[in-house]
C-alpha cells in the first residue's frame, strides 16, 4: 500500500496537522514532503501511526507522541519529541536544542549530533545519539537514559537527578554534581540491548556511566521512593 503524501509548503500547520491526524488514525502510512523546517509538525500522533518527514523539520516535531513511529530524514529543530510518552522517533541528521525535553517514555534515535540540553528534565524513555551530545546533556533529568556513541560536550549531566547518561568517547567536561561510575556487565548488556535493534550492536565500547553525585539533593532521605507522591 502506498503512503498517504502530505505536502506542507506554505500551508497552515493547523491544516497540515488535521490532515496528518486523520491519515494517522486510519493506520495509513504517511509521508510528509516539502517540510521547509516548519515548526510543530507531527504533534500528538497516536499509537500505531507511521509517519515519515522528507527533509528537515523545525521545532517540536513529534512532541507529545503517544506511540507513533516517526522518521525524520533530515535534521530536526529544537525540542524534537518533547514531552513524548511512547513511540519511536528517528532523526536522520542533527537534532537541535533540547531533544526529548521532559519526555516520559519511548525512544528517540538521533543519527547525527544532538544540540545542547538533550533530555533536559526527562522523566523516562531513552535517547540514543550516534554522534556527539551537546552541552549540558541531561540537565536536571529525573529518569531515563541518554546514550551517546560519539562523546559529549561541556557540562555533561549537569544537575542530573535520577536519570543516567552513557557516553562512549570523549567527555569535554562534567556538569555540577555529575559522577562517573563503572558500569556492571549486566548494565552494559542492558544498554547494548537497546542499541542492537537500532543496528548499533557488536562493537566494543569504552562506556562511562554518569549518574548524580547526590550533592545537590536536599532530601533528608536518600531513598527517593519515599518522596514520590505517586
Partner 1 sequence: MCGIAGRILGKTGDVGTDLVELMDAQAHRGSDSTGFAIYAPPRAHGYVVRAMGFDRAGLGRDLEDFLLILREHGGDFLENPTWDSAPDKHYSVRMVISDPANVARWIHDADMLCARLEVQSVGRALEIIKDIGGAAEVAAKHHVRGMQGTHGLGHARLATESAVRPNASHPFWARPFPDVAIVHNGQITDYTNWRNRLERQGYRFLTQNDSELIAVWVSHEISQGMTLQQALDHSIKQIDGVFTYMIADLNGIGFAKDRFAIKPLATVQADGAFCAATEEQALRRVYPGGAKIINYDGPAKTGIWGKGGLAA
| Chain residues in the site for partner 1 (CB under 8 A) | 36-39, 55-56, 58-59, 75, 77-78, 94, 96-97, 115-117, 134-136, 153-154
Measured CA to CA in angstroms, residue 141 lies from 125, 138, 152, 196 at distances of 11, 5, 16, 24
Q: Kind and range of the H or E element at 17?
A: helix 13-25
Query: Residue 68 CA to chain centroid, in angstroms?
Result: 14
Q: What does the block give as the cell for 176?
A: 555540577
Measured CA to CA in angstroms, residue 152 lies from 77, 114, 117, 174 at distances of 19, 9, 11, 9
Distance in Å, CB of 176 to partner 1, minimum: 14
Strand 4-7's sheet: what is its strand order?
A: 4-7, 30-33, 50-53, 66-72, 86-91, 107-110, 123-129, 143-148, 164-168, 207-212, 178-181
Distance in Å, CB of 12 to partner 1, minimum: 12
For partner 1, the closer CB: 46 or 93: 93
Distance in Å, CB of 197 to partner 1, minimum: 28
For partner 1, the closer CB: 17 or 66: 17
DSSP at 188: H
Distance in Å, CB of 226 to partner 1, minimum: 34
For partner 1, the closer CB: 41 or 68: 41
Distance in Å, CB of 75 to partner 1, minimum: 6
For partner 1, the closer CB: 65 or 155: 155
For partner 1, the closer CB: 94 or 161: 94
Amino acid at each position: 500500500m502506498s503512503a498517504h503524501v502530505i505536502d506542507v509548503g506554505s500551508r497552515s500547520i493547523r491544516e497540515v496537522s488535521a490532515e496528518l491526524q486523520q491519515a494517522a488514525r486510519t493506520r495509513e502510512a504517511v509521508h510528509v514532503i516539502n517540510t521547509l523546517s516548519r515548526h510543530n509538525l507531527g504533534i500528538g500522533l497516536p499509537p500505531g501511526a507511521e509517519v515519515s518527514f522528507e527533509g528537515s523539520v523545525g521545532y517540536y516535531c513529534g512532541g507529545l507522541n503517544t506511540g507513533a513511529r516517526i522518521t525524520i530524514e533530515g535534521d530536526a529543530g529544537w525540542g524534537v519529541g518533547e514531552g513524548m510518552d511512547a513511540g519511536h522517533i528517528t532523526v536522520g541528521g542533527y537534532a537541535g536544542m533540547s531533544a526529548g525535553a521532559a519526555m516520559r517514555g519511548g525512544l528517540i534515535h538521533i543519527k547525527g549530533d544532538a544540540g545542547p540540553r538533550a533530555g533536559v528534565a526527562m522523566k523516562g524513555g531513552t535517547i540514543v545519539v550516534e554522534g556527539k551530545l551537546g552541552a549540558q546533556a541531561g540537565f536536571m533529568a529525573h529518569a531515563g537514559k541518554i546514550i551517546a556513541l560519539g562523546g559529549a560536550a561541556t557540562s555533561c549531566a549537569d544537575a542530573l537527578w535520577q536519570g543516567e547518561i552513557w557516553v562512549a568517547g570523549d567527555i569535554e567536561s562534567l556538569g555540577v554534581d555529575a559522577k562517573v561510575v563503572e558500569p556492571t556487565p549486566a548494565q552494559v548488556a542492558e544498554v547494548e540491548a537497546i542499541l542492537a535493534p537500532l543496528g548499533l550492536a557488536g562493537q566494543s565500547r569504552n562506556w562511562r556511566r554518569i549518574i548524580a553525585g547526590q550533592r545537590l539533593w536536599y532530601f533528608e532521605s536518600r531513598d527517593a521512593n519515599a518522596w514520590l507522591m505517586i
